[in-house]
Amino acid sequence: MDSKEKNFNSKDMKRIFYLVTIVLVIALTILSFLIPIKYIQWNFFEKFDMVLYAIIVLIPLVIIAIFGTKSILRNFTKKKVALTYFYLALVCIYVFALIYVTWETGDYTRFLSKWYAYYENNSLKDSLYEIVDVSNYTPAYNYLLIIMAKIGFTDLYGIKLITYAFSFLLAYAVAKIVSSIKKTNFNYLVFITTMILPMVLIEYTAWGQCDAIYTSFAMLAFYFALNKKSKLSFLFLGISFAFKLQFLFIVPILFVMLIIKDENGEHYLKWKDIWIVPLMYAINLVPAFAGRSVLDLILVYFSQSAQDNRLAGDCANICEIYMLFDVDGIAKTILMILHILLTAVVLTLLLIFTFKRYKAKGLTKNDLVYIAMLFAFSMVFFMPKMLDRFYFIALMLSVINAFVNPTRLNTLIAGCMNTAVWVGVCHSYIKILHTGISFKICMTIAIIINFVTFALLIYNTIKNYKIDKQHTKNENKISYDNIQELN
């Protein structure tokens, strides 16, 4: 086994175990002791749909268990610890997937179930033609709903199976990025850590939303960008775009990678391949384009945004502070404009700082992961009209960063980010805190944690820049001294 891999699997994994332990203790404590029994509504032996769902959920877990066990036995030094964590995580996934499968969120009752019912009761032709009228999501996600409806799955199970399947793809993409940067074999502990992050766990067990879908493709776009496969990167970015406008949270780092070069003087991405992104979105529209206006299909992104006129949607960011004090009317409009401008200023400053650092030293893949996380988090933290789920890309990048840059500070950043989102969503979606703790208290705690997270991100960025600058000075001094000796 390679010495680098051995070092990664033993020493570096310690800190990620601490991160996972902290986050899981918080999540599992809340879920184990604060869920009223009335929310567990199914009887396993009386519902065929539940049995079928349980079998389908189990199959990929068994496959992962087989290959993961082989990988851990072959590559990891502390096999017993790694295997114990691995199997506990698999059990956790299975149990929570079954417990929460009957959980009906507001989005499900108001929107998803109605869309699904239409696709069940109408022909494929009518379903495709009426996509824009039936749903305010992009055609790509509705194609998946149509497939599940035509197969015959009950709506709730079909919707959650889609999210469950793409959560595996997301975990795979995260593990591939880490393994690629660390130059190790595929790391099943990274994979399983991603699957049990509170936000991801809630996504495929309770919410049944599509955040795991667009995020998985965004992570694949980033993976191929890091490996200088420009066409594949833009292809997956285009697919991510076809599902959700929130693909934009990965765009700043890809823009940076269009401009900079690696240590060998090669560009990560090529400008001539950008056309693939709009092409993939156009392909997404084709099946639904049956006499419909192209404009109707394109404007579906904006119709969803227009339906929610809140300044923030239960998201632990700066704009949510105003929501806690019921800011409305003209003040809300002014604040929205100001925060859009503020976000633009923050992103511009971060871009300038990034290119300044690149000119001083160059940027490694580890640096690019950290910068990607900084951009993704900052955009959601400052922008108006954000939802708690929009931190999804930032959370995945925080876990990747904790693995590839395993310092105490990076582990703390990942822990803070995941904990803040978890505290924030307790009331907004799952509503499991029936202990008299108000939504405002939960959200205030989450916002404070995210303020701390942003401060840590900026502190770490400045610290790394100073270290790079000092390193460059030392190198220049050594070079100068060598020239003087030669003279």
**pLDDT tens for residues 122-174?**
888 888 888 877 887 888 899 999 999 988 888 999 999 999 999 999 999 99
Residue 45 pLDDT: 38
State the pTM of this model. 0.86
Cα separation, 279 vs 237, in Å, equals 11
Residue 36 pLDDT: 41
Any domain includes 474:
yes
The predicted model gives 85-114 an average pLDDT of: 87
Check pLDDT > 70 for residue 22. no
- Do residues 317 and 447 touch, judged by C-beta distance below 8 A? yes
Cα separation, 486 vs 255, in Å, equals 43
Check pLDDT > 60 for residue 422. yes
Tokens of 464: 């790394």
Check pLDDT > 60 for residue 35. no
Cα separation, 29 vs 242, in Å, equals 37
Cα separation, 436 vs 390, in Å, equals 27
Alpha-carbon distance values, 293 to 286, 288, 297 (Å)? 11, 10, 7
Any domain includes 426:
yes
Residue 250 pLDDT: 96
Q: Which residue is it, tokens 């401060």?
A: 455
Cα separation, 465 vs 484, in Å, equals 28
Residue 428 pLDDT: 52
Percent residues over pLDDT 90 in the chain: 37
Question: What 3-state class would DSSP assign to 110?
Answer: helix
pLDDT in tens, 383-415: 988 888 889 999 999 999 999 988 888 988 998
- Do residues 201 and 392 touch, judged by C-beta distance below 8 A? no
Highest mean pLDDT (candidates 186-190, 234-238, 297-301, 473-477): 234-238
Q: In which element (H, E) is residue 57 found?
A: helix 48-75
Residue 485 pLDDT: 55
- Return the number of other C-beta atoms located less than 10 Å from residue 387's C-beta: 21
Of 56-65, 245-254, 314-323, 384-393, the least confident: 314-323
Residue 388 pLDDT: 82
Any domain includes 472:
yes
Any domain includes 65:
no
Question: Would you tell me the crossing angle of helices 230-243 and 251-259 to the nearest 10 degrees?
Answer: 160
Residues 6+ apart with CB under 8 A from 55: none
Give 191-194 contacts, CB < 8 A, sequence gap 24+: 191/64, 191/68, 192/64, 192/68, 192/85, 192/86, 192/89, 192/90, 193/16, 193/20, 193/89, 193/399, 194/170, 194/396, 194/399
Any domain includes 369:
yes
Cα separation, 366 vs 145, in Å, equals 38
**CA-based end-to-end distance of the chain:** 46
Domain count for the chain, please give it: 1
Q: Which domain holds residue 350?
A: 308-487
Any domain includes 218:
no
Residue among 13, 16, 14, 22 at smallest CA distance from 422:
22
Any domain includes 47:
no
Residue 306 pLDDT: 55
pLDDT in tens, 306-324: 556 677 777 888 888 877 6
Any domain includes 437:
yes
